Structure 1
Amino acid sequence: MKRMLLTSRYGLYAVIAIAFMASCASSKKSTSQHAYMNEQYKELKNILNEADVSIIKDSLKVIFPNNVLFASSSDQLNDKIKPTFEHFADVLNKYNKTKILITGHTDNTGAADYNRELSEKRATAAKQMLNTDKVSNDRMFTWGLADRDPIDTNDTEAGKAKNRRVEFVILYDVKN
């Protein structure tokens, strides 16, 4: 009986040790993911002067204002942004352990269907431009949000201009 209890105790210690090591490995992985995303954040912050680059927990957000990317009521990217997108793509390709969600946004002017379609076309145009610069389609997802997620008021022209934008949310791909 005493021997059985002793064996059970060692078994329990082994289970606890394995669980502890697994949690440490998970912690190290989480720490390395955080470091990976921080390095990417620093590079993006340095090269994307026209965009607002922020880090939120373990993801990055890059917001290009509408006037930088598109003419008003247009889904055609401005030619002036192409060199910036090339640099953006270079960083995305360097840090290829990520997925990118590209969301298009509009202000609340115009019909809801038009705004939804325009926001989707803008997100798709941004994706196509990055794909031209060799960012894999498998890593990018688009979503048109129309006027559903404003970052400023739609009561002023300045607020509306801020709401007309394309955002890139860069997430660590946990499968890597």
Structure 2
Amino acid sequence: MTLPAVNLRSLLFFVAAALLTSCAASKKGTSHAYMTKQYKELKKVLNEADVSILNDSLKIIFPNNVMFATNSDQLKDEIKPTFGRFAEVLNKFDKTKILVTGYTDNTGTDQINNDLSEKRAVSGKNQLTASGVAGDRLFTWGLGSRHPIATNDSEDGRSKNRRIEFVILYDVKPESK
């Protein structure tokens, strides 16, 4: 499933709904323990990534400059083995949904950056599905050059902004009657 780059309200609703439902489930203690266990496993196998936990969601950012070249939506070869390790953990913890968000640096027009960031998110999704993660667990969204994590005034900063981020949410299933 692909989320349109211009529909910020929809993403915020999706994230808020997922967080609220995961928080409701955390009262039972299951989702929190599950996500904490997944967090520890990801920290162990993704030492090159920034893995953080907030309530019952996880965020993964690969801060080094290995994701994408300028104007490219193809993951660099050196990051692909890391995606394999990432996929192994995602498959071990299959009670989650993953939002893959793509970003660009600020070179180029907004239209070009929005399209490119969506393609980058899809590229990350495709790499995870190629490593065995079920496609129906993955959602993509392109944010263009919004929300930089480094300055766009240098090549080093721009390369850090050419990235994809992952938000992992506990998938609360409605109770059957």
Which residue is 1:116 aligned to?
114
In structure 2, relative to structure 1, the CA distance for the partners of 1:80 and 1:151 (3 Å cut) is: closer
Q: Is the CA contact (8 Å cut-off) linking 2:50 and 2:60 kept in structure 1?
A: yes
Match of 1:160 among 147, 158, 161: 158
Which residue is 1:19 aligned to?
none
Q: Is the CA contact (8 Å cut-off) linking 2:26 and 2:32 kept in structure 1?
A: no
Per-residue CA deviation, residues 63-87 of structure 1 (Å, 9 max, x unaligned), is 1247222222211112222221111
> Following superposition of structure 1 onto structure 2, how do residues 122-141 of structure 1 map, counting pairs within 5 Å?
122-141=120-139
Instruction: Name the count of aligned residue pairs.
Output: 151
Match of 2:45 among 33, 47, 64: 47
- Cα RMSD between the aligned structures? 1.9
Per-residue CA deviation, residues 35-90 of structure 1 (Å, 9 max, x unaligned), is 11011011111111221111112100001247222222211112222221111001
Q: Is the CA contact (8 Å cut-off) linking 1:66 and 1:165 kept in structure 2?
A: no
- With structure 1 as the length reference, what TM-score do the two structures score? 0.78
- 2:59 corresponds to which letter in structure 1? K
Unaligned runs of 5+ in 2: 1-23
- 1:80 corresponds to which letter in structure 2? E
Q: Matches of 1:97 and 1:74 in 2, distance apart?
A: 32
More helix by share: 1
Q: Matches of 1:77 and 1:48 in 2, distance apart?
A: 17
Give every structure 1 segment of 4 or more consecutive aligned residues whose post-TM-superposition deviation is greater than 6 Å: none
Match of 2:74 among 64, 76, 81: 76
Higher relative contact order (CA 8 A, sep 6+): 2
The alpha carbon displacement at 1:114 in A equals 1.0
- 2:168 corresponds to which letter in structure 1? I
Identity %: 66
Q: Matches of 1:109 and 1:27 in 2, distance apart?
A: 42
Which residue is 1:94 aligned to?
92
Per-residue CA deviation, residues 92-122 of structure 1 (Å, 9 max, x unaligned), is 0000000000000112111111111111111
Q: Is the CA contact (8 Å cut-off) linking 1:65 and 1:164 kept in structure 2?
A: no
- 2:57 corresponds to which letter in structure 1? S
The alpha carbon displacement at 1:156 in A equals 4.0
In structure 2, relative to structure 1, the CA distance for the partners of 1:87 and 1:26 (3 Å cut) is: closer
Unaligned runs of 5+ in 1: 1-24
Match of 1:106 among 95, 104, 107: 104
In structure 2, relative to structure 1, the CA distance for the partners of 1:143 and 1:26 (3 Å cut) is: closer
